[in-house]
Chain A
Amino acid sequence: MHRRGFLGTLAGSLGALALTSPFASPLSAAPLEKVRSLGVLRVGLYADNRPWSWDAAGQPAGIDVDLARALAEAFGVRADIALFTADEAVSDDLRNVVWRGGLLGFQPCDVMLHVPFDPRFAAQEDQVVFVAPYYRESFAAVCGNEARDCDVPPPQLAGKRLAAELDSIPDFYLLGGFGGILRKDVVHYPTGYEAVGAVQDGKADFAVATRAQVDAAMADNPGGNAKRRRGPLPAIASPGWDIGMAVKENSRTLGFAIEETVEAMAQDGRLATLFTRHGVEWKPALATQPNT
């Protein structure tokens, strides 16, 4: 793996410049120095994104929260975790959280976690640089323990109570897939974690969510009434995606430093351990794997 490769690929119009001489501009050296001199790294995280980041009785908690603190610790500074409400699309979140700030005074963050690490998406976002891919996400499903076969073709689930996060691909999959045969059976939840929880609590028969949401819910409630579907979800719209971080376009030095830290954490096992603490099996991002 060659970390400079990510920056070159996913850095918008100035990517090539950064690739050749990332430390040449005095301006670009400032952000990392600023973080060190202020003694604080401001990190933007989704407010309602369990198991990644959420508000646990007034305290931010989750994988991304721990990762943010680990980054700050590596720089010898304090982490200032800013939980924010998701806007209509990640593009809006990048504007609100990374490069402009909110219209009503939300201050931009040094780095935002949990952004897609996808060259096609990055090409549309020239105000930010995408760095440090740290997980490979995809979709998964669970069914109730009483189900004889958790791996049935989805059309056979007609008449069961099907749980999904509102306005997500799992939602559209169940509402719109298979000729709409499952549409009237879909029950909506605010998050995928809660959709899995509904199956565990016997309130639903089947749930589709992200793999991390399934992992975490299963680990958090091992006695719950749910088991994992082993087979794939036929014809689901996404094969999976990498998750990384975003810094402002002129904060490349900070981006490099973050990427080095995350790479070191991946290599010495700290990253996998951090994920395990939240019940989630760490899957390295495809972009960090050779020849993929």
Chain B
Amino acid sequence: MKGTYTSLFAALALAGTALASPVAAEEGPTSADIVNDANTPGDVLSYGLGPWQQRYSPLKEVNSDNVTKLVPAYAASLGGEKQRGQESQPLVYDGMIYVTGSYSRLFAFDAKTGEKVWEYDARLPDGIMPCCDVVNRGAAIHGNKVIFATLDAHLVALDRKTGKVIWNKKIADYQAGYSATAAPIIVKDMVITGNSGGEFGVIGAVQARNVDTGELIWERPVIEGHMGTLNGQPNGITGKTNATWPGDMWKTGGGATWLGGTYDPGTNMVYFGTGNPAPWNSHLRPGDNLYTSSTLAIDADTGVIKWHYQTTPHDGWDFDGVNEFIPFDATINGKAMKLGAKADRNGYFYVLDRTNGKFISANKFVMETTWANGINPKTGRPNYNDANRPGAPDGAEKGSVVFASPSFLGGKNWMPMAYSQDTGLFYVPSNDWGMDIWNEPIAYKKGAAYLGAGFTIKPIAEDHIGALRAMDPKTGKIVWEYKNPAPLWGGVLTTGGNLVFTGTPEGYLKAFDAKTGKELWKFNTGSGVVGSPITWTQDGEQYIAVMSGWGGAVPLWGGEVAKTFKEISQGGSLWVFKLAK
């Protein structure tokens, strides 16, 4: 493992000199530092703790033998009235913790004391009404800047010492329904982002910008028929126009890349997942609808698509394919392979060859998938259960009710999984739930009659909705699982100390034995934990931090599922832990 990283690091350093980066090392982290983040436990320079975003730290001072002695070092409130939906992952550098808050805020805290150093509140336009709550998932750091995306679809670079704006670029038009909530990634002095949008008619895209100026370098729309650009020039159409979409529907086909991407320095590819197709009624858009509900491998220098893998062709259940594709290396059938894994909204855990997108395996990581009976290993396509596809509305009467599982919130939603280089296991925060879905004969949109769908999300087990599952990517077997009453909605961290950390809506940060799944420690933070934990060393001690603050998409949906979280209060605090002395 370590050898691989060292050689990648050297290759990138060479590439970096060719790019003539103006950033001096003493100003802050360089692109080379960020690529090497997984090997520098004294800081956290990237979303996911390294470009692969394995969320693995080799630190073992805190371990499965002593984690019971973990206690709070301090907590820091984000303050104000905006106590809602803290889905962020903090960054740590040079004695500071940088963390985004809901409502497009970014905070800098003193990493020793938790005292606030500065706060930046994006001034959002009055008319903005984000579809899917007001969350933000994290920032990027490079040189003298911290960079994050805002709900009005801007990318903002702040001076990391003062919080003053260095540049602020519009990445899409919020009035056309675009937004942005994911953490940007830094690749070769570029900042690379996806986009979000709930409004009908948005098109998913990936953009790379100059990290020093915010100027666009390349853009890659993810729906077939749309033209990409490189340095302001046309750079080829995505896919082949009208190959998998009828008429002009590709122009408004959806596929928002709202969860960001990962980067593999070895292949020089960025991996971005794409959202589901529009409109929701799949009967109106026969065809695979490329490249919705897919993972795309995109050349980091040019924005050209190198391969794609579509997890849900012709989606009819709202199974978007945005989930993180995490590179890892493993030996399968005696052969050392460069792989990547993705736990999809559709309930299957996919392992692909990350150099070419070839299918290796796919296995269920949830209790049931009513919509498909496995994935065909020859084609990589689902064996669809056609009877479970929601029907076409005809506007007459309420259509028949279909029960489909997973629900449209997915076997796994946005919350990132982790991969342990010690156990060789992926730790997947998943949910077991289904939905009743039917055609709604009387619906209204923008004041006019409309053909809509009605749905109710339902638990499918007596004792849980959430389940943290340890998945062996070589066998597809679930090695252990931890069941949680409320839906899991936070990211996972695993460490060299044989530990797995994740939060729960009930308010706990919990630690599990990475090998057995035994719950070893928990601490109640006072509000639901839906952020992603991190760890680092500081003054010779190992620290663990996580955001607390219930929110996100789950509380927006009521019904039976809401019983599991109706007593949970909102919040907005950074919690930091270390071992009691």
Contacts and interface: CB of A to CB of B under 8 A. Distances in A.
A85 B127 contact: yes
Interface residue tally on A, bucketed by range: 35 or more
Contacts of B451: 169, 172, 237
Contact of B246 (A105, A183, A210, A243): A183
Nearest to B201: A166
A89 B444 contact: yes
B272 to A, nearest CB: 24
A86 B131 CA distance: 11
Interface string B52-85: 0000000000000000000000000000000000
A159 to B, nearest CB: 12
A106 B131 CA distance: 14
Given A83-B127, A104-B134, A183-B246, A166 B445 contact: no
Interface in B391-413: 392-396
Given A88-B198, A172-B281, A237-B395, A104 B448 contact: no
A281 interface: no
Contact of A104 (B124, B199, B248, B449): B124
A167 B445 contact: yes
Contact of A180 (B127, B128, B286): B286
A166 B199 CA distance: 11
B559 to A, nearest CB: 14
B252 A188 contact: yes
B255 to A, nearest CB: 15
Residue picked from A103, A168, A184, most chain B C-beta under 10 Å: A103
Interface in B284-340: 284-286
B129 A96 contact: yes
Contacts of A114: 447
A180 B507 CA distance: 50
Interface in B244-299: 246-249, 251-252, 278-279, 281, 283-286
Residue picked from B151, B393, B449, most chain A C-beta under 10 Å: B449
Given A166-B201, A167-B201, A210 B448 contact: yes
Interface string B424-450: 000000000000000000111111111
Interface stretch (A10-18, A45-53, A261-269): A45-53
Contacts, number: 132
B85 to A, nearest CB: 10
Contact of B450 (A168, A183, A240): A168
B251 to A, nearest CB: 7
Nearest to A177: B394
Nearest to A103: B134
B197 to A, nearest CB: 12
B175 interface: yes
A46 B447 contact: yes
B103 interface: yes
A176 B126 contact: no
A90 interface: yes
A185 B134 contact: no
A228 B246 CA distance: 28
A268 B175 CA distance: 39
Contacts of B247: 175, 183-187
A68 B451 CA distance: 29
Contact of A237 (B126, B129, B151, B394): B394
B121 to A, nearest CB: 12
Interface string A102-141: 1111100000001110101100000000000000010000
Contact of A103 (B130, B252, B281, B450): B130
Residue picked from A96, A106, A237, most chain B C-beta under 10 Å: A237
B283 A176 contact: yes
B444 A176 contact: no
Contacts of B198: 88
A115 B129 contact: no
B258 to A, nearest CB: 16
Nearest to A187: B248
B517 interface: no
Interface in A137-190: 137, 166-169, 171-172, 175-176, 180, 183-188, 190
B380 interface: no
Residue picked from B129, B248, B392, most chain A C-beta under 10 Å: B129
Contacts of A238: 395, 449
B212 interface: no
Contacts of B285: 175
A121 B444 contact: yes
Contacts of A168: 445, 448, 450
Given A169-B450, A185-B247, A89 B445 contact: yes
Contacts of A171: 279
Interface string A235-251: 01110110100000000
B447 A115 contact: yes
Contacts of B252: 166-167, 188
Residue picked from B252, B283, B286, B447, most chain A C-beta under 10 Å: B447
B125 to A, nearest CB: 8
A47 B444 contact: no
Contacts of B251: 188
Interface in B191-217: 198-201
Residue picked from B130, B279, B395, B448, most chain A C-beta under 10 Å: B448
Interface in B88-130: 103, 124, 126-130
A104 B447 contact: no
Given A104-B124, A115-B447, A172-B451, A85 B175 contact: yes
Contacts of A46: 446-447
Nearest to A212: B448
B476 interface: no
A169 B447 CA distance: 12
B449 A166 contact: no
Contacts of A104: 103, 124, 126, 128-130, 134, 151
A282 interface: no
Nearest to A186: B247
B442 A120 contact: yes
Nearest to B152: A104
Contacts of A256: none
B452 interface: yes
A89 B450 contact: yes
A5 to B, nearest CB: 20
Contact of B392 (A106, A176, A184, A241): A176
B131 to A, nearest CB: 7
B126 A106 contact: yes
A105 B126 contact: yes
A104 B127 CA distance: 8
A116 B127 contact: no
Contacts of A166: 200-201, 252
A225 B456 CA distance: 47
Given A102-B128, A104-B128, A238-B395, 9 more contacts: A88-B131, A105-B124, A106-B129, A121-B444, A168-B450, A186-B247, A186-B249, A187-B247, A243-B447
18 contacts: A47-B127, A85-B127, A85-B177, A86-B445, A88-B131, A93-B446, A116-B447, A167-B200, A167-B278, A167-B445, A169-B395, A172-B279, A175-B284, A175-B285, A176-B281, A186-B249, A187-B247, A188-B249
Interface of B: 103, 124, 126-131, 133-134, 151, 175, 177, 198-201, 246-249, 251-252, 278-279, 281, 283-286, 392-396, 442-452
The 4 closest A-B pairs by CB, nearest first: A237-B395, A238-B449, A114-B447, A90-B444
Interface of A: 46-47, 49, 52, 83-91, 93, 96, 102-106, 114-116, 118, 120-121, 137, 166-169, 171-172, 175-176, 180, 183-188, 190, 210, 236-238, 240-241, 243
